[in-house]
Amino acid sequence: MSPLGKYYIGAAVVSVIALLLPIPSLISWIIVLGVLGAPVVGYFMLDPSQRERLKRVRRKGIGR
């Protein structure tokens, strides 16, 4: 399994656990958005050239 796939599974598990714990609803949604939203924000903070490099690396890794 790829490292990215492991990250997605881990984020999903943390999100489900946060929603099932008896903590206030708002706090659990903040945790879910923090876990799942951090990679998206990080990606959009990259320069366009860095995004292109990341896309190339991911495409190159798929064919291995």
Q: Tell me what pLDDT residue 61 has.
A: 66
Predicted TM-score (pTM) of the model is: 0.47
| Number of domains comprising the chain | 1
Enumerate residues 6+ apart whose C-beta is below 8 A from 39: 7
Structural contact between residues 18 and 31, judged by C-beta atoms closer than 8 angstroms? yes
Q: Tell me what pLDDT residue 63 has.
A: 59
For the chain, give the mean pLDDT. Answer: 80
Structural contact between residues 42 and 50, judged by C-beta atoms closer than 8 angstroms? no
Q: Which domain covers residue 30, as residue numbers?
A: 3-62
State how far the Cα of 22 lies from the Cα of 59, in Å rounded to an integer.
41
pLDDT by residue, tens only, the chain of 64 residues:
677 778 778 888 887 887 787 878 787 778 777 877 777 888 889 999 999 998 888 777 665 5
